[in-house]
Chains A and B, each alone.
Chain A
Amino acid sequence: MELTLWTYEGPPHVGAMRIATSMEGVHYLLHAPQGDTYADLLFTMIERRGRRPPVTYTTFQARDLGGDTAELVKKNIREAVERFKPKTLLVGESCTAELIQDQPGSLASGMGFNLPIISLELPAYSKKENWGASETFYQLVRGLLKTKVTDNHKHSPNAWREEGRRPKVNLLGPSLLGFRCRDDVLEIQKILAQHGIDVNVVAPLGADPSDLIRLIDADINVCLYPEIAETTCAWIERNFGIPFSRIVPIGIGATKDFLKEIHELLGMENTNPYESEQESKLSWYSKSVDSNYLTGKRVFIFGDGTHALAAARIAKEELGFEVVGLGTYSREMARSVRSAAKELGLEALITNDYLEVEKAIKESAPELVLGTQMERHSAKRLGIPCAVISTPMHVQDVPARYSPQMGWEGANVIFDCWVHPLMMGLEEHLIGMFRHDFEFTDGHQSHLGHIDKNDDKAKEASPNHFFNKIESDPSNENPIWTIEGQEELSKIPFFVRGKIKKNTEKYARETGCKKIDSETLYDAKAHFST
């Protein structure tokens, strides 16, 4: 049993709903009690979808449990098929129905419908949403393609050349409630088109069951979101010999590598080495003089596996940040996040507990947090700027404007989103110069405009409060800050002040110093910088 106050991922059947709702012509019969229907609002409110998800919930009640819940399932299947006339029916159960074991999948198969029925088994007590989405997509593709599997598949990813046509690829993984998928697909389609590569099928987003049958017409698969599509891509590779790309094109370096990988898989030559500079402003903006102030900014990263990994690479290689924390809630991607963290000299944080993440943020004293909407709230409480890089989705993560994460335009979007919360270079310089003027108050920083002076929580996070606390916390073991020492400490930028204070006290204790003045502070600073 696990105490959960908030969770990054929903249950696995919500993942299945993401696949069903992303597609056309699919209906999902979900054996579930009333209340589970809340999941509709994820799509109609967060994504602002103008259509209900294609889901029929059986909404069984306690009084049905004594009777024939199987009959209830069949009645709902019959009505759903008649009303919605799906091309493919998904049948599954939520956590409660899993316990009563009606096996709705077999019930549906026995009803004599002339349409493909995919039975989903998504263990609700051990798995989560992304796994559920991945499994559903896999079962759906497998269910529709298994009759086409032969022992001797002769797939050549270079066949387009002999056949005298442009190469064509599938874009796999984009789904509703995935981070910026709608715009990522457009961006990648655009880039591939510039390279003379056509898109055969995009799935699950916008695909029809008949599109899934056409998946095997592509030369290669592009796995855009491994959390959702890797299992499916691997199955297609095993059974049809169609290879798939591994690199997720988020950031300049990754987009370059992605194009290289795609070209190699297709046996093509990538002719334009200057493409990234021509197409994206990130590299130049990052080199421009104003960005000098970005150097070594301490950044903490937490999100789903794909976006956390991409963010770490961009932060380090493309913006010159220092990554001081890296983690994910995607257990399925824990291994790759661990090794990426190790390369950065960090230990990865793999957890589903947002309080643990908040604690890690506090301890690493970052200047910027890249996280989920939950980290945005944690960072707000801590008075640290934040940009959102990953699901779980919030209505703000479905912007009206075109706003991809992938490809060249995605890199532009990322530069703006990450850098705007920070003070611009000149602004930071001015604040440093004028911060002791009487007109200036410490909470003035534009990016922290959300700190409300009347809010106790905000006060706690604000530097003045923090400073006052120094005096009100005298214990025998702790060295005492002299007035002069306090004044010096207050001159240190607030976002590292906590760490400096902690380090100085630690140093004072270790060296037996009882009173901390400005000299102790600088001694400690020198001590810890070596």
Chain B
Amino acid sequence: MSGAPQLLKETGPREVFCGLTSIVWLHRRMPDAFFLVVGSRTCAHLIQSAAGVMIFAEPRFGTAILEERDLAGLADAHDELDRVVNNLLERRPEIRTLFLVGSCPSEVIKLDLARVAERLNGQLNGQVRVLNYSGSGIETTFTQGEDGALSALVPLMPKAESQEKQLLMVGTIANSVEDRFIKIFNRIGINKVSSLPPRESTKLPSIGPGTKVLLTQPYLGQTARALQDRGAEILKTTFPLGIEGSRIWIEAAAKSFDIEESLVNTTLEPLINRAEKAIRPYKDKLSGKKIFLLPESQLEIPLARFLQRECGMHLLEVGTPYLNKELMQSELALLPEKVRIMEGQHIENQLDRVREQKPDLVVCGMGLANPLEAEGISTKWSIEFVFSPIHGIDQAADLAELFSRPLHRHDLLNKTQLIHA
């Protein structure tokens, strides 16, 4: 393996989403769950701005907006929350799980949502399960909201009845991708495969000492610890992005299930060959191009590994809002020597570096994209990686396409301008 990357840190003003944003994909994964943010008008406005809420007749997320009189005395806030929850559940009887999501203001006024959840669970007699976690911006960045939500589900997972080995995939992925993974695991002889979060919030997979966990997403440190505490083993491996990352990820499961290497190889080989062929045109576009990843989703490091090793891109800087060295170990080992990994952010200084280094492509948040485009720098929204089916060998070409599209467009438009000039 190559030498170590440079692990750098930076503090200062940040330009990132808070953990509330992860509600946008979590609610789609579990259609029987409702996410109730206990927060301010800012929280409500944030989620609707990030999620394009208007397309829903009635979304399965909302905000209990704190008002002046709620801040006056905490006893009131508890009563008010009970009232809001009861109204909501009356209106939406199909809801089976209610997540109370803490926000910056609810954390600062120390509104104890765990206690509220406990009380409501008592009142509701198991008809609806009430859970709580924090998605506040003072504690979480973007994808960490999902980490909180999944950690809240872990204590409710039933205890596995036997010591029999079973595979648990953890992290929200597209349903189609999930089906594909299950099929591949079945082919190599791993038949007991389940997912967290499940498609129905009440059908939680069982857990026990026989549970082998594959994380599908890199931002689930807290969930991983909670699963470990319940006896599961977290398989130390890469994340299933790109051909290589997915192969190593599947192999890690195979190894822990004592599957013969030759069976894994013969199963994956045709998939890999096909994917390599599919990725080639994008690789031609991306190879040799310079990319700068601003921190937001924590997917930056595995994406950088894919872009460098499979697409031949040159990594200028790989930002990450938070670096979990333990979970990221296998990924870091695959990165080239001396590559700059920047944990945290000083947005102004980082943008200075972007301008200095003139990347061909910048991965960034939605607020920054157009200003960079206006400076002639092509961009890719980081939020797209949590919405698009990008995991697995079969999706590797699609993932590469996401990065090559802005470059392709850039060339296309500039060529047109030349003709007109």
Contact = CB atoms under 8 A, between A and B. Distances in A.
Given A5-B62, A95-B40, A96-B104, A62 B138 contact: yes
B252 interface: no
Contact of A14 (B14, B45, B63): B45
- Determine which residue in A6, A42, A61, A123 has the highest number of CB atoms from chain B within 10 A of its CB, and name it: A6
8 contacts: A7-B48, A14-B42, A14-B45, A35-B137, A50-B375, A51-B371, A94-B42, A96-B108
Interface stretch (A124-132, A184-192, A234-242): A124-132
A3 B108 contact: no
B219 to A, nearest CB: 15
Contacts of A41: 49-50, 365-367
B348 A79 contact: yes
B32 interface: no
A125 B374 contact: no
Given A37-B14, A99-B108, 19 more contacts: A1-B65, A1-B77, A1-B80, A4-B63, A6-B59, A35-B19, A35-B137, A37-B16, A38-B21, A38-B50, A40-B15, A41-B50, A51-B371, A51-B374, A57-B13, A61-B139, A95-B40, A96-B40, A125-B40
B367 A49 contact: no
A39 to B, nearest CB: 8
Contacts, number: 189
Contacts of A35: 16-21, 46, 104, 136-137
A52 interface: yes
B141 interface: yes
Contacts of B137: 33-36, 59, 96
Nearest to A57: B13
B59 A38 contact: no
Contact of A4 (B13, B18, B65): B65
A5 B105 CA distance: 18
B128 to A, nearest CB: 16
Contact of B41 (A56, A128, A381): A128
Given A33-B136, A44-B371, A125-B68, A7 B109 contact: no
A354 B301 CA distance: 41
The 9 residue pairs across chains A and B that have the minimum distance between CB atoms:
A35-B18, A50-B374, A35-B137, A40-B367, A1-B80, A96-B104, A95-B40, A33-B137, A10-B45
B333 interface: no
Contacts of A124: 40-42
B4 interface: no
B142 to A, nearest CB: 8
B369 to A, nearest CB: 7
Nearest to B348: A83
Given A35-B20, A44-B370, A125-B67, A3 B87 contact: yes
Contacts of A3: 36, 62-65, 84, 87-88
A5 B109 contact: no
The size class of the interface chain A forms with chain B is 35 or more
B1 interface: no
B141 A1 contact: no
A11 B108 contact: no
B57 interface: yes
B107 interface: yes
A477 interface: no
Nearest to A123: B68
B325 interface: no
- Determine which residue in B12, B365, B370 has the highest number of CB atoms from chain A within 10 A of its CB, and name it: B370
Interface in B38-83: 40-42, 44-46, 48-50, 53-55, 57-59, 61-68, 70-71, 77, 80-81, 83
Contacts of A13: 42
B370 A50 contact: yes
A334 B348 CA distance: 43
B367 A377 contact: no
A202 B46 CA distance: 30
- Determine which residue in A1, A5, A48 has the highest number of CB atoms from chain B within 10 A of its CB, and name it: A1
Contacts of B367: 37-41, 44-45, 52
Interface of A: 1-7, 9-11, 13-14, 33-42, 44-45, 48-52, 56-62, 65, 76, 79, 83, 94-96, 99-100, 123-126, 128, 355, 373-374, 377, 381, 394, 457
Contacts of A45: 366-367, 369-370
A214 B189 CA distance: 79
A37 B71 CA distance: 24
B71 A125 contact: yes
Nearest to A381: B57
Contacts of A83: 348
B288 to A, nearest CB: 28
Contact of A50 (B68, B138, B373): B373
A41 B365 CA distance: 9
A51 B368 CA distance: 9
Interface string B219-235: 00000000000000000
Contacts of B109: 99
A222 B139 CA distance: 46
Interface of B: 12-21, 36, 40-42, 44-46, 48-50, 53-55, 57-59, 61-68, 70-71, 77, 80-81, 83-84, 87-88, 104-105, 107-109, 136-139, 141, 348, 365-371, 373-375
A65 B107 CA distance: 11
Contacts of B13: 56-59, 76
A4 B46 CA distance: 12
Contact of B108 (A14, A65, A457): A65
A34 B40 contact: no
B368 A11 contact: no
A11 B42 CA distance: 5
Given A7-B48, A36-B137, A57-B13, A49 B57 contact: no
Contacts of A94: 42
- Determine which residue in A35, A61, A355 has the highest number of CB atoms from chain B within 10 A of its CB, and name it: A35
Contacts of B80: 1
Nearest to A14: B45
A414 to B, nearest CB: 23
Contact of B54 (A38, A44, A49, A377): A377
A3 B87 CA distance: 9
- Determine which residue in B46, B87, B137, B141 has the highest number of CB atoms from chain A within 10 A of its CB, and name it: B137
A126 B41 CA distance: 10
A150 B246 CA distance: 74
B58 A5 contact: yes
A418 B54 CA distance: 21
A2 B65 CA distance: 5
B258 to A, nearest CB: 44
B45 A11 contact: yes
Nearest to A38: B46
B138 A6 contact: no
A14 B18 CA distance: 17
B132 to A, nearest CB: 16
B349 to A, nearest CB: 10
Contact of A6 (B42, B53, B84, B370): B53
Contacts of A9: 41
B378 to A, nearest CB: 14
A190 B120 CA distance: 62
Contacts of B375: 50
Contacts of A14: 42, 45
B40 A11 contact: yes
A377 B67 contact: no
Contacts of A373: 54
B149 to A, nearest CB: 16
B299 to A, nearest CB: 18
Given A6-B48, A10-B42, A11-B42, A40 B368 contact: yes
Given A6-B59, A34-B141, A49 B42 contact: no
Contacts of A4: 41, 44, 62-65
Contacts of B68: 123, 125-126
